[in-house]
Structure 1
Amino acid sequence: MTKRLESKYKIDRRMGENIWGRPKSPVNRREYGPGQHGQRRKGKLSDFGVQLKAKQKLRGYYGNISERQFRSIYDEAIRMKGDSGANMIGLLERRLDAVVYRAKFVPTVFAARQFISHGHIKVNGRRVNIASYRLKVGDVVEIREKSKQMNLVLEAQALAERDVPDYIAVDTGKMTAQIARVPTPSDVPYPVQMQPHLVVEYYSR
């Protein structure tokens, strides 16, 4: 658990932004990057550097998913009709770990991945332990009965720092959630500005 927490906060410091909006983020105290040379690394970024940072920030936000997975999401997004950046966000927000996090079943997206892999989540009545599982509009996500009183779940429900977005329909009594619709980038409650168009530019170079 320690390693995961440290890497999460390293992402914040490397980006120089509190990308999850967490009150414990070290960026709230120090806005410079990690390491002994962190305060001297504030040079002007090239176009490539700006695009790379946008990609790393979006990838990091969703639990620092692997580069291979993230690239495959981009590849799928550009094959779809419409704006590729918006398509990327729609695909990312339909990941099971993202929905479990958005529904406030767990406090962080990292915790969502672990919660799913440990078998605490069911989709349409069947247990699913794959965090990257792609949900469809109307799929019912629920916490298993014996997992509903876990401290992690109770802690997440009490969090005041974020609200459930309107494209996720949550029944707090039954501990169920559904994607009501595929969100657009402006619907997603990112604590910092995300620039999916720069991610598309990065991969299309």
Structure 2
Amino acid sequence: MSKRESSKYKLDRRMGENIWGRPKSPVNRREYGPGQHGQRRKSKLSDFGVQLRAKQKLKGYYGDISEKQFRKIYDEANRMKGDTPENLIGLLEQRLDAIVYRAKFVATIFAARQFVNHGHVTVNGKRVNIGSYRCKPGDVIEVREKSKQLAIVMEATQLAERDVPEYVEADHNKMAATFVRIPNLSDVPYPVVMEPNLVVEFYSR
């Protein structure tokens, strides 16, 4: 198992939740955490612990974004007008790797980032290889012609475990998607409950 695969599954088990709603998640078999102490009785988390957990879960969901990058996104969300938790989710969902994942061009958010990094995606006809690239409403994200027949793409479009949300219009015949609008928290199809309000509390301490 690759380092990325193992860390992904470790996150699931550490949180005790199937964060991405994947059938292969080890949480489906073992709900306790990883390591030799994983089966100990869970102690009640402090307020700080609850907030930290919420941050780790949200950060992990988007491919385990680095702390520096995640803090930068939070700071920007905090500066924007409106509700900071909603702004935070909106900024995360505008990431190119998140949209590639939402459009079901690949099976996982980790694969989406790698797919973008390897130059398989264009935005409005121009190749973009930065997963954190921020898309705007109306942007057209497309799989490059030579990449459309890759097995990873063919398999992902057939996945029944998740649907394309309404803020992304995907055409799997053309392997193109349009980012329709910036979503609200209630629009995002998280398999588990995300609490960006607790993330805001964490950074506001």
TM-score band, normalised by shorter chain: over 0.9
Post-superposition Cα deviations, 1:161-191, rounded to whole Å, max 9, x if no partner, equal 0000000011222111111111000000000
Query: Whole-Å Cα distance in 2 between the matches of residues 47 and 40 of structure 1?
Result: 21
Per-residue CA deviation, residues 29-51 of structure 1 (Å, 9 max, x unaligned), is 11111000001151000000000
Structure 2 equivalent of residue 157 of structure 1:
157
Distance 1:79 1:177 in 2: 29
**Does the 8 A contact of 1:78 with 1:84 survive in 2?**
yes
The residue that corresponds to 2:57 in the other structure is 57
The letter of the residue matching 2:23 is: P
Is the contact between residue 33 and residue 41 of structure 1 (CA under 8 Å) also seen in structure 2? Answer: no
Q: Tell me the residue number matched to 1:72.
A: 72
User: What SS does structure 2 have at the residue aligned with 1:131?
Assistant: coil
Match of 1:168 in 2: 168
- 1:43 counterpart letter in structure 2: S
RMSD of Structure 2 on Structure 1 (CA) = 0.8
1:178 pairs with 2:178: yes
Q: Which residue of 2 aligns with 1:38?
A: 38
Question: Contact 1:168/1:179 (CA < 8 Å) preserved in 2?
Answer: yes
**Distance in 2 (alpha carbons) for counterparts of 1:75 and 1:41:** 36
Instruction: Note the residue ranges of structure 1 that are not aligned, 5 or more in a row.
Output: none
- In the alignment, the residues of structure 2 paired with residue 25 and residue 134 of structure 1 have an alpha-carbon distance, to the nearest angstrom, of 29
Counterpart Cα distance in 2 of 1:42 and 1:203:
25
Q: Write the letter of the residue equivalent to 1:18.
A: N
**Partners in 2 of 1:98 and 1:13 — Cα distance?**
22
CA distance in 1, matches of 2:52, 2:15: 11
Moved more, 133-142 or 169-178: 169-178
Report the secondary structure of 1:40's partner residue: coil
Give the fraction of aligned pairs with identical amino acids, expressed as a percent.
Answer: 75
The aligned counterpart of 1:102 is 102
TM-score w.r.t. the length of structure 2 is 0.99
The CA deviation string for residues 91-142 of structure 1, in whole angstroms up to 9 with x for no partner, is 0000000000000000000000110111100011110000000000001100
Q: Using a 3 Å threshold, how does the CA distance of structure 1 residues 134 and 41 change in structure 2: closer, same or farther? A: farther
Alignment of structure 1 residues 78-93 onto 2, 5 Å: 78-93=78-93
